[in-house]
Amino acid sequence: MTDTTAPAPRPGILDIAPYVGGKSAIAGVAEPMKLSSNENALGAGDKARAAYEAAIRNLAIYPDGRATKLRTAVAEHHGLEPERLIFGNGSDEVFALLNQTYLSPGDNIVTGEYGFLAYRISAMANEAEVKSAPEPNYKAEVDALLAQVDERTKIVYVSNPSNPTGSYNSGDEIRRLHAALPPSILLVVDEAYAEFVTEPDWETSFPLARDAQNVVVTRTFSKIHGLAGLRIGFGYAPVAVAEAVDRIRLPFNVSVPGIEAAVAALGDEAHVVASRELVQQWRPRLTQAIKGFGFDVLPSAGNFVLVKFADTAHATAASDFLNSKGIIVRPVGGYGLPDCLRITVGTDDQNRAVLDALSEFAGR
């Protein structure tokens, strides 16, 4: 029975399913291959590591609350206006800040059926509803998203490319979605995996955001730059949005080593190129080979592939089998895809190990 005298969380909090991150350990395996969280298989680049190590001299001081050094570097790198940037403890925090700034109880966000879970968690924490547009083809559909929009909708979230499906929306699709939305509704385009895309009709939404009053584009240092552990992401927003968010942002939400390493990472083009090439070389190879073993693989624009098995039991058996080989992949039942496993593109050796294991699993 619930103890009615105990402190009660605000409504909705206990309805939130706790986020389960990618597993990082297998009992009895000293160094498992962790391909469960779409991290950068090459790790952080040398320049970022050196900057992180140098930052040790400044651990006793608070970071610059405006992250000016990083703000300037990001603005220059991407050709953006510095005053329109919002920095967060990962882009996850940018979503949480937007939700907290714009959602009142009873409002809603709209996202795709298999959309990234972080949008939902903080929306629910703000007593907002999450309206999911069906993704029958594992891809966010403009008309399906628009059909969910109502008078209580405050934010529409699209990951482009999307996690965990790996699908993407073309520049035309994003523009069509934006054009059909009332200007009072924020459109957040999450481009966490932007650097891995090769499809020619994909476009960054930075130019769309530049000219609109209601578009936010987010990026992260967790993927292409290999700094997931440092938690740095940013949003490019209209000035009014950036200023509103800044009122609730905790003053020192990005750290001294995080700022330094991220600035250095932006200047490490060689690492960016190597990271991108690794993914762009292996993604089609993994896709083709795994299909050859008789499993379905969804087309992916990210640094991962989503493998679809015959059913949930089959996916679980495959995950267990990979674990027995020291490989951790991501079951995605939490996304409503219990018959699928998401596999991050790894190093050459890791990818070969995945293929060997799946080939053996298929032949059993």
Taking the least distance from each CB to ligand PLP, the nearer of 220 and 275 is: 220
Query: E strands within the chain?
Result: 33-34, 85-88, 108-112, 129-133, 153-159, 186-190, 215-220, 233-236, 296-297, 304-308, 327-328, 330-332, 337-344
Length in residues, the chain? 364
Q: Which residue number places its CB atom closest to ligand PLP?
A: 90
Least Å from the CB of residue 312 to ligand PLP: 22
Taking the least distance from each CB to ligand PLP, the nearer of 168 and 295 is: 168
Taking the least distance from each CB to ligand PLP, the nearer of 258 and 357 is: 258
Parallel, antiparallel, or unpaired: how do β-strands 85-88 and 233-236 relate? antiparallel
Taking the least distance from each CB to ligand PLP, the nearer of 113 and 361 is: 113
Q: Which two tokens stand for residue 112?
A: 């795709």
* Exposure b/e, 165-181, CB count within 10 A at least 16 = b: bbbbbebebbbebbeeb
Site residues (CB under 6 A) for ligand PLP? 38, 90-92, 116, 159, 163, 190, 192, 220, 222, 228, 233
Taking the least distance from each CB to ligand PLP, the nearer of 52 and 116 is: 116
Distances (CA, A) of 6 to 11, 257, 306: 14, 40, 43
Taking the least distance from each CB to ligand PLP, the nearer of 100 and 352 is: 100
Which residues on adjacent β-strands are paired with residue 85? 236
Least Å from the CB of residue 96 to ligand PLP: 10
Least Å from the CB of residue 63 to ligand PLP: 17
Taking the least distance from each CB to ligand PLP, the nearer of 233 and 257 is: 233
CA-to-CA distance for 198 and 144, rounded, in angstroms?
25
Least Å from the CB of residue 242 to ligand PLP: 17
Least Å from the CB of residue 141 to ligand PLP: 17
CA-to-CA distance for 209 and 212, rounded, in angstroms?
5
Least Å from the CB of residue 89 to ligand PLP: 8
Least Å from the CB of residue 166 to ligand PLP: 10
CA-to-CA distance for 219 and 264, rounded, in angstroms?
16
Centroid of chain to Cα 266: 19
